[in-house]
Structure 1
Amino acid sequence: MIQFTAFGLLGLLALSIPVGVVLFLLAFGIDFFFSPFPLMRGLGQVVWSSSNSATLIAIPLFVLLGEILVRSGVANRTYAALDKWVSWLPGGLVHANIATSTMFSATSGSSVATAATVATVAMPQARDLGYNEKLFSGAIAAGGTLGIMIPPSINLIVYGFLTESSIPQLFLAGLVPGLFLAGLFMAVTAILCVVKPELGGPRRSSSWSDRFASLADLLPIFGLFAAIVGSIYAGWATPTEAATVGVAIALVIAAHQKALSRAMIADALRGSVKTSSMIMLVVIGAYVLNFVLTAAGVSRALQDVLNNLGLGPLATLLVIVAMYIILGFFIETLSLMVATIPIVVPIIMHLGYDKIWFGILMIILVEMALITPPVGLNLYVVQAARGGRPFSDVMLGCIPFVIAMLVMVGLLILAPQIALYLPSTL
């Protein structure tokens, strides 16, 4: 039964069948071959109960929020402002890529949207100023991954829904590791550019008056982040209600930037419907698969297999980490999460680990999948903005940042409080 589940999942994905459909087909197959009673008779109730949740309304709202910001020109102003603050570091404008990705991640909730936005703004400057495009492109792709770590994060909402975890606690748990990881990216960039100055570009200094004047362009992002996250932790709003407030503020920002129009709103709504429909099909399919796996005893059988191996909790965790790294080469991030959560999270809880902490660890591991070939979405997003240059440049440029992610995984395992301090304190 375990072999059928594993090979069935990989085989169906290899056929390029949409992930949501794969999850339903796998559930049907396990039910048909291994279940002693027809589980699919309860399909309607499972689908209804999984989709009839106010929590899930936050997903299309946060997607819409990101779509509005992408089209409002906020990213261009944010990039120019952060350039004045960080381009004096070794690596110059590369740090602006990471800093802008960090800021934009705090509002978009999507890694692909973050990478696409920053790439569109930054790549022309890389050529004008003579930057090494490998490191420059890698920084954009890697910085974009922060979109699914720093709250609000669509992937954390999905994880919280599927594992019945507190989404506000997950948002708190992701904040410090997300900022820590951004710091690691900047540290790696600075070290590389000190050792090999040709990897970076010209370092630019700005006067303090210019820097303080640029803060006005950062206020919309800071204000939006404060409104969303602050309203959640002040107890004024649920994540869904906070997302609604965020969309309203994003519309005000777009109007202030003179980017609000019927055409812009129509484009944002179309993009939101496409993305949200894909996510919801995957989430409901994962919920159905979770129901079948539990009822058919697959999760329990896998726990028995691991117990019979005689591995301790740490060794078992490292095996799971290695599994995610390997699968990340072949499976897209959200697909990787929803396909494995029903199997892996019960094992993690059985080993005595905190599921909030593991959610953050999992997010970092699936972040790596965004910048590792052959299916790393951020690689293709950045490559599309580069216009015909070798794809290998983007892949090679991401290697230092993959190493930084592995370091972050090790730190989280050694010091879980990096993720758990804020949730336990607040």
Structure 2
Amino acid sequence: MILFTLSGLFGLLLASIPVGIVLILLSIGLDAFFSPFPLMRGLGQVVWSSSNSGTLIAIPFFVMLGEILVRSGVAARTYNAMNSWLSWLPGGLIHANIATSTLFSATSGSSVATAATVATVASPQGDRLGYDPRLFTGAIAAGGTLGILIPPSINLIVYGFLTETSIPRLFLAGLVPGILMAVLFMAVVVALCMWKPSLGGERPAFSWSQRLRSLPDLLPVLGLFATIVVTIYAGIATPTESAALGVVFALVIAALNRALTVSMLNEALRGTVKTTAMIMLVVIGAYVLNFALTALGISRQLQALLEGLGLGAFGTLMVIVLIYIVLGFFIETLSLMVATIPIVVPIIESFGYDKIWFGILMIVLIEMALITPPVGLNLYVVQAARGRGSMSEVVAGALPFVMVMLGMVGLLILIPGLALWLPDSL
């Protein structure tokens, strides 16, 4: 039964069938071949209970928030402001790529949207100022991955829903590792550009008066992030309610930028519906598979199998980390997450690991999948946005940042407090 589940899962995914459909088909197969009871007679109830949740309403709100910001011109203003403050560092404009990605990650909740936004704004300037195309584009692709770690994160909402874990605590747990990883990305850029100055291009000079004049361009994104975070942790609003407030805030920003038009709203709503429909199909499929796996006892069988190997808690964790790294080469991130949560999380819990800590560790591992070929979505998004050069340049430029992510995985394992200190303190 375990072999059927794993081979069926990856076989159907390799056949390029949409992941939500894969999960439901696999559940039907498990029911048909292994269950003494007609599990799928409860399919309607399972689908309804998995989608009838106020928590999940946060997903379309956060998606729409990002869509409005992308289409209202906030990205270009934020990027230019970050450039004025960070261009003095070795690597110059590359730091603006990472810093802008970090700020947008704290509002959009989507890695792909963050990478596409920054790549569209930054690529022309990088070419004009003579930056190495590999490091420049690799930094954009890597910076975009922070969108699923720094709150608000759609992936963390899905993880919290599927594992029945506190979403505010998950948001807090992702904040310190996310900011630390952004700092490490910038440190790597400084080190590489000091070692080989030709990697960095021309560093434009800005006076203090120019920098101070750029501060108002940072206020919309910072104010939006503060609105979301403060309302959640001050107990004023739930994550869903704060997401709705964020949408209202984004509409105000768009209106102040004179970008609030009928066509812009139409495009933002279309993008929101498409993205939300895809995410919800995957979530429902994961819930159906979880129902089948629990009813058939497959999670208990896998736990018994791993315990029988005698690897212990740490050895088992290392096996799971290795599995995520390998699968990340071939499976899209949200698909990888929801397909494995029903199998992996019960095993992790049985060995005494914290679900919130493991959620952050899993997010870092699937962040790597966003910038590792052949399926790394951010690589393709950045390449498409710049519209020139070869894909191999983006892949090569992302490699140093993959090493940083591996280092962050090691830090989280050695120092779990990186993820748990903030939620435990508050």
Match of 2:253, SS? Answer: helix
Structure 1 Cα separation of the partners of residues 359 and 148 of structure 2: 11
Aligned residues: 426
Residue number in structure 2 paired with 1:409: 409
Aligned positions of 1:201-350 closer than 5 A = 201-350=201-350
Structure 1 Cα separation of the partners of residues 160 and 117 of structure 2: 27
Matched letter for residue 53 of structure 2: S
Structure 2 Cα separation of the partners of residues 405 and 37 of structure 1: 44
Structure 2 Cα separation of the partners of residues 27 and 208 of structure 1: 61
Residue number in structure 2 paired with 1:368: 368
Structure 1 Cα separation of the partners of residues 316 and 205 of structure 2: 49
Unaligned runs of 5+ in 2: none
Structure 1 Cα separation of the partners of residues 49 and 390 of structure 2: 47
Residue number in structure 1 paired with 2:81: 81
Q: Can you list the C-alpha shifts for 1:104-158, whole angstroms capped at 9, x where unaligned? A: 1000000000000000000000110011000000000000000000000000000
Moved more, 118-127 or 31-40: 31-40
> How far has the Cα of 1:386 moved from its partner?
2.0
Structure 2 Cα separation of the partners of residues 212 and 419 of structure 1: 34
> How far has the Cα of 1:32 moved from its partner?
1.0
Q: Can you list the C-alpha shifts for 1:332-361, whole angstroms capped at 9, x where unaligned? A: 000000000000000000010000000000
Structure 1 Cα separation of the partners of residues 202 and 409 of structure 2: 32
Residue number in structure 2 paired with 1:386: 386
> How far has the Cα of 1:5 moved from its partner?
0.8
> How far has the Cα of 1:387 moved from its partner?
1.4
Matched letter for residue 43 of structure 2: L
Structure 2 Cα separation of the partners of residues 63 and 386 of structure 1: 23
Q: 2:41 aligned with 1:33, yes or no?
A: no
Structure 1 Cα separation of the partners of residues 297 and 74 of structure 2: 50
Q: Can you list the C-alpha shifts for 1:277-301, whole angstroms capped at 9, x where unaligned? A: 0000000000000010011111010
Q: Can you list the C-alpha shifts for 1:204-255, whole angstroms capped at 9, x where unaligned? A: 3322222122110000001000111110000000000000000000000000
Q: 2:413 aligned with 1:420, yes or no?
A: no
Structure 2 Cα separation of the partners of residues 312 and 95 of structure 1: 42
Matched letter for residue 232 of structure 1: I
Matched letter for residue 340 of structure 2: T
Residue number in structure 1 paired with 2:377: 377
Structure 2 Cα separation of the partners of residues 35 and 172 of structure 1: 40
> How far has the Cα of 1:404 moved from its partner?
0.3
Matched letter for residue 146 of structure 2: L
Seq. identity, % = 73
Residue number in structure 1 paired with 2:159: 159
Match of 1:346, SS? Answer: helix
Structure 2 Cα separation of the partners of residues 275 and 124 of structure 1: 28
Structure 1 Cα separation of the partners of residues 32 and 398 of structure 2: 43
Structure 1 Cα separation of the partners of residues 95 and 388 of structure 2: 24
> How far has the Cα of 1:199 moved from its partner?
1.0
Residue number in structure 2 paired with 1:398: 398
Q: TM-score, normalization: structure 1?
A: 0.99
Structure 1 Cα separation of the partners of residues 295 and 33 of structure 2: 13
> How far has the Cα of 1:13 moved from its partner?
0.6
Q: Can you list the C-alpha shifts for 1:50-81, whole angstroms capped at 9, x where unaligned? A: 11000000000100000000000000000000
Residue number in structure 2 paired with 1:169: 169
Unaligned runs of 5+ in 1: none
Structure 2 Cα separation of the partners of residues 424 and 121 of structure 1: 38
> How far has the Cα of 1:35 moved from its partner?
1.2
Structure 2 Cα separation of the partners of residues 250 and 228 of structure 1: 11
Structure 2 Cα separation of the partners of residues 63 and 387 of structure 1: 25
Residue number in structure 2 paired with 1:145: 145
Aligned positions of 1:126-137 closer than 5 A = 126-137=126-137
Moved over 6 A (4+): none
Structure 1 Cα separation of the partners of residues 69 and 152 of structure 2: 14
Q: Can you list the C-alpha shifts for 1:12-46, whole angstroms capped at 9, x where unaligned? A: 01110001100000111111111121111111111
Q: TM-score, normalization: structure 2?
A: 0.99
Structure 2 Cα separation of the partners of residues 213 and 292 of structure 1: 58
Structure 1 Cα separation of the partners of residues 386 and 207 of structure 2: 31
Structure 2 Cα separation of the partners of residues 337 and 405 of structure 1: 17
Aligned-pair Cα RMSD in Å: 0.6
Matched letter for residue 291 of structure 1: F
Match of 1:314, SS? Answer: helix
Matched letter for residue 79 of structure 1: Y
Residue number in structure 1 paired with 2:200: 200
Structure 2 Cα separation of the partners of residues 11 and 385 of structure 1: 31
> How far has the Cα of 1:203 moved from its partner?
2.6
Structure 2 Cα separation of the partners of residues 201 and 258 of structure 1: 34
Matched letter for residue 158 of structure 1: V
